[in-house]
Structure 1
Amino acid sequence: MLTGHPLAFFQPFIDTATGQIAGIEALGRLRQADGSYRSVGPLFASRKVSSLDLRQLDRDIRDNALSRFREAPPDWFLSLNISPRWISRAPADQPLPSLRQVERYGIDPRRIVFEITELTGNQQRLLEVVRRYRAAGARVAIDDFGAGYSQLDRIMDLAPDILKLDMRLFQAAVRGGPSSEVVKAMALMAEKTGCRIIAEGVETEEELEFALECGARYVQGFLFAQASEQFQQADAYLERFAALRTRYVQHKLQERSRLMELRQQLSRFIQDVRSWAEGHSMISALPLPHDLPWLLRLYQCDRHGTQITPNLEWNGMFWQENRRYLNHNWSWRPYFYSLLAEGMDERRLNLSTIYRDATSNQYCITAGQFIAQGQRPLLIDIDASFLTES
């Protein structure tokens, strides 16, 4: 049952390029008789409320948001949640109710983002409605991108302007593990398809830093502001965001410094082992890297990428031989053909990007440098976790 007066609360989007509020999302509330407010979110998941009541509630909240948005700064955008359940019921030969509301309040449709909250219903009908939104000048966002089965084919058909990362997946990704790689891959996909990313649910500094690392254009969450009935000043979080962004850059510079130090240490180590590797000496003669706790293993390949020596694995005390990967070919891996692209200049050390090793499930970097007059590369695998330590 619906009790209370429907109205919109607004939660800001912070533009990561400027630190200023760039727009707001309208979130539904019911004002109770005692002056408190109740979120309408649970009502839309309830079977006790009729679809007719929910549709009217949805329109009342949107109407309230649009009527007040005229008071917002002229460069802000307003994000309005739209359910395909309502879209599919709109007659194809009549104006869309949501666009009629925008027109009624004299708001430039270019300032409106219609945020599609789910991907149910008739896809062709949804595509047609999205086309009409765009024809009017509005933008389209997909909410909860990455939640469950995201139906990538349907999303790509819609070609959204904005993707909002699923909050639960995003927060799990900050803690590391496979979720982190999934979110980074989705962010990269969005970048390549021209979508802007919104990271919602940003509640900690760590989550903000991860959002920046993923290239999020906008961030939204309790770290800056909860939803409120009143608009904030556009520069309300400018100084705080600038300080947090500076801290993020400092952390990345620290990572870069560690990487430069790593390169120097590896160059010295390769010089130490070069004569051993070129002479095919016994493992007992291999120098002990006691000052390189992140070193995992070394091995050699031929110029075609086929491994020609066993893995020599460092356990912190001594070297161990592992013949499991003899004759495996690694030429398909990016670090190997990057090494080939650098040529056979023995003076140049090549470092891969950080990747997750399928065997050990740990983050690694592979370093490579040609030896033996450019005839074969010496490859060294490194535990990369130390690079991101605070």
Structure 2
Amino acid sequence: MQVKNIRIPPRHEVRPFFQPIISLQSQEIIGYETLGRWIRESGVESLGPFFNDPDISEDMQLMIDRHLREQAIEQIAAAPGEGSLFINLKPSWIYRTYKRTGVLPTIELLKKYHINPSRIVIEITEEEFTGKLQELTWIVELYREFGCTIAIDDVGSGFSNFDRIASLQPKILKIDLNILKKSIIHDGYKALMQSFSILAAQMGASLLVEGVETKQELHTALQVGARYVQGFLFSKAEPELQRPDAYKSMLEKEMKLFGQEEFSRYSRLLSVHQSLSTLIHTNVGISTADEADTVIEQTISTVSDNCIRMYICREDGYQTSSNYTRREEGWSKDESYRQANWTWRPYFISNILMMNLQKQGILSQAYADLDTSRQIQTYSCALGEGYYLFLDLEI
């Protein structure tokens, strides 16, 4: 039988390295994720394989991790004003250690080095957890009560499920880098990224996108509402902390470029408003489905090429007109949508209220079209008393 060669690093050969986390709000480094490295004569190795090896005992992994953790906390404590420290903790470690000892070693280290707990982010890592979620939540709450910030790592991967996210109520959601990369070339993953952005906003959490390696990925992170980013585009993990403004110049340039591209994109989307100006400011009389269809047919030649669908609804949500959909061969009419009710759409009622309040058309957030799965936005505007025109625009 072949015996597996398990490599266990001596404590004096391991040390923490620090990968910067940058705020897109200030374009400065606001913290560091601490990552373990094995310093050997042959070079520097990641300790990731050591911590993920099921043949190495949890006690041995914890001993090395706590040694690294204390070194990192000592280093960040000696650099006041240098930002936060993101500490990775497996949920099983937190759970079993506290159940066994009644102590949270990280809190004891913060007391020892007199570090403000608001500078510490506890990252609950991606891992299958078989304990009681309610008890884990109660234990994690002890970190929060002490003043630490709670983050969930690798959101969207196998084990960081929505039940855990809802229960722990983190202030930072860290997105799995594989989803970011797939979202650039796959509409399904793009929609998933946007759903995490909405989830973060609903929970009062900030989105942190990791694994940003290219400027295109940085722009993708900006599109989904990331507040924080990290990755090789900026820096790999280094043994020393860096200047807070180390990447400010590059970020200012890229964010300016991103802003210009977004303004241009929204200007194209909103050009539909100009094409409908005459119709919007005319008191259109609609009392039947046929009259609603006539209004669309008189307008259809004026809309922009990115308009893929048109229809008219009453403010109670019922569709009055047929659906008019752009095909390769031209526009098609589908009367089966007459009397369909759209109040179940998340944006419908709020958009009606905003149009009535602002007396102008509005553009919805981007979402995936139910029929085509393509990314679209819906422009809507009032048409006389109680009727509203909707146009689905391909992004």
Q: TM-score by structure 1 length? A: 0.84
The residue that corresponds to 1:321 in the other structure is: 333
1:238 counterpart = 2:248: yes
Following the alignment from structure 2 to structure 1, what is the Cα–Cα distance between the partners of residues 382 and 116? 61
- CA offset digits 1:180-220 (Å, max 9, x no partner): 22222222222232222221111122222232333322211
Task: Tell me: CA distance 1:224–1:307, structure 2 relative to 1, closer, same or farther (3 Å).
Answer: same
| 2:224 alignment counterpart | 214
Cα distance in 1 for partners of 2:275, 2:367 equals 20
The residue type equivalent to 1:79 in the other structure is F
8 Å contact from structure 1 (residues 205, 223) kept in 2: yes
SS of the residue 1:89 aligns to: helix
AA at the equivalent of 2:76: F
Does residue 374 (structure 1) correspond to residue 385 (structure 2)? The answer is yes
**Partner residue, 1:84:** 91
What secondary structure sits across from 2:96 in the alignment? coil
Q: Could you tell me which residue of structure 2 aligns to residue 311 of structure 1?
A: 323
**Unmatched segments (≥5 aa) in structure 2:** 1-6
Q: 2:47 — aligned with what? A: 40
User: How many residue pairs are counted as aligned between the two chains?
Assistant: 380
Report how far residue 269 of structure 1 moved: 7.5
Return the match for 2:153 from 123, 143, 153.
Answer: 143
Match of 1:15 among 14, 23, 34: 23
Say which of 345, 358, 363 aligns to 2:370: 358
C-alpha distance 196-37 of structure 1, shift in aligned 2 (>3 A): same
1:111 to 108, 112, 119: 119
Change (3 A) 1:287 1:62: closer
**Alpha-carbon displacement from aligned partner over 1:15-35 (angstroms, at most 9, x marks no partner):** 22211111111101111222x
Amino acid at match of 2:250: R
* Displacement after TM superposition at 1:97 (Å): 2.1
SS in 1 for 2:66: helix
Q: CA–CA distance in 2 between the matches of 1:15 and 1:369?
A: 37
Q: Return the match for 2:71 from 64, 68, 71.
A: 64
Using the TM superposition, give the Cα deviation of residue 100 of structure 1 relative to its aligned residue in structure 2, in angstroms.
Answer: 2.4
State the match for 1:200 in structure 2.
210
Shift of 1:112: 1.6
In the alignment, structure 1 residue 123 sits paired with structure 2 residue 130: no
Gap change, CA 1:73 and 1:325, over 3 Å in 2:
same
> How many Å apart are 1:282 and its aligned residue?
8.2
> CA separation of 1:124/1:352 partners in 2, compared to 1, >3 Å: closer, same or farther?
closer
Give the drift of 1:105: 3.0
> Are the aligned partners of 1:197 and 1:216 in contact in 2 as well (CA < 8 Å)?
yes
TM-fit CA distance, 1:72: 2.8
Tell me the amino acid that sits aligned with residue 139 of structure 2.
Answer: V
> Matches of 1:95 and 1:23 in 2, distance apart?
26
Partner SS state of residue 160, structure 1: coil
Deviation at 1:224, TM superposition (A): 0.7
Measured in 2, the distance between the counterparts of 1:77 and 1:161 equals: 14
1:260-301 C-alpha deviation (Å, 9 max, x unpaired): 3221123368799x7999868989x85773883223233444
Aligned to 1:388: none
**DSSP 3-state at the match of 1:175:** coil
1:31 aligns with 2:42: no
Q: What RMSD, in angstroms, separates the aligned Cα atoms of the two structures?
A: 3.3
Which residue in 1 is equivalent to 2:8?
2
Offset at 1:148? 2.6
1:210-359 equivalent positions in 2, closer than 5 A: 210-267=220-277, 289=301, 292-302=304-314, 304-315=316-327, 317-333=329-345, 336-337=348-349, 340-341=352-353, 348-359=360-371
State the AA in 2 paired with 1:43.
Answer: F
AA aligned to 1:341 is L
Residue 59 of structure 2 corresponds to residue 52 of structure 1: yes
Shift of 1:137: 2.4
**Secondary structure in structure 1 of the residue aligned to 2:276:** helix
SS in 1 for 2:97: coil
Compared CA separation, residues 368 and 165, structure 1 to 2 (3 A): closer
Change (3 A) 1:103 1:182: same
Native 8 Å contact 2:292 2:321 kept in 1: no
Cα distance in 1 for residues equivalent to 2:312 and 2:38: 67
The more displaced of 71-80 and 238-247 is: 71-80
Structure 2: how far apart are the matches of 1:140 and 1:156?
12
Q: Is residue 293–residue 321 contact of structure 2 (8 Å, CA) maintained in 1?
A: no
After TM superposition, the structure 1 stretch with the greater mean CA deviation from structure 2, 227-236 or 335-344, is 335-344
Paired AA for residue 114 in structure 1: I
CA contact (8 A) 2:311 2:390 kept: yes
Task: State the TM-score, normalized to the length of structure 2.
Answer: 0.83
Q: 1:199 to 1:61 in 2, by over 3 A?
A: same
Unaligned runs of 5+ in 1: 386-390
Distance 2:66 2:201 in 1: 33
Return closer, same or farther for 1:338/1:107 CA change in 2, 3 Å cut-off.
closer
